[in-house]
A and B are shown apart, each in its own frame.
Chain A
Amino acid sequence: DQQVKQNSPSLSVQEGRISILNCDYTNSMFDYFLWYKKYPAEGPTFLISISSIKDKNEDGRFTVFLNKSAKHLSLHIVPSQPGDSAVYFCAASFLNTGKLIFGQGTTLQVKP
């Protein structure tokens, strides 16, 4: 039972353009959502999060949008840079439970 899904295994964009990574979930009771970025041979690093009571959170070039009615969130990266090339995981959690439920990941390639 895949509660968090990233249906696009890969995405390629040109440097300077917008990258949009998508994530769908099935459990409407999740309290918050996160995006992690992972380079090869390294552990995931936290990027940005959003509470279920909000619909947008922005941090520099990164913005996460949450559409609760559609059970969908997305990560926008503007402008994309070659150093953004990595695997991006979305994750969801319930407050006070600690554990994160991850999607399968999307590999982003930003071409110079």
Chain B
Amino acid sequence: GAGVSQSPSNKVTEKGKDVELRCDPISGHTALYWYRQRLGQGLEFLIYFQGNSAPDKSGLPSDRFSAERTGESVSTLTIQRTQQEDSAVYLCASSLGLGTLGDTQYFGPGTRLTVL
């Protein structure tokens, strides 16, 4: 079975441009998460979608960041007017959405974003 996939794998952009990052979760997973990892740091939570509930956006660092999810499938993370500090690996994860200890999050390989 396919795991979580993300595209593109690498993205280089110029400061001030907008970027869109895509995540395809594991089929049947109702929960989807976005994290980012800056160089030398741990993963930082950004946003969490669970079924039809309102997403938990508490980790988004600024209003330049937004994310959408179509039903229980694809999600897109959009960064507007990119800044150099946005450079990071953006990781997507999905889970069954059980809300229990057994609800393991499975991560994609990430998108490495470089803002010049």
Contacts and interface: CB of A to CB of B under 8 A. Distances in A.
Given A49-B101, A97-B56, A100-B105, A43 B44 contact: no
Sorted from nearest, which 3 A-B pairs have the closest CB atoms?
Answer: A43-B107, A102-B42, A102-B43
B25 interface: no
A32 to B, nearest CB: 5
Contacts of A43: 4, 91, 93, 106-110
Contacts of B99: 95-96, 98
A99 B101 contact: no
Interface residues of B, number: 30
Given A100-B43, A101-B45, A104-B40, 11 more contacts: A6-B42, A42-B109, A49-B104, A97-B56, A98-B50, A98-B95, A98-B97, A100-B33, A100-B35, A103-B42, A105-B42
A102 B107 contact: no
Interface of B: 4, 31, 33, 35, 40-45, 48, 50, 56, 58-59, 91, 93, 95, 97, 99-101, 103-110
Interface string A66-82: 00000000000000000
B105 A46 contact: yes
A4 B50 contact: no
B56 to A, nearest CB: 7
B45 A100 contact: yes
B77 to A, nearest CB: 15
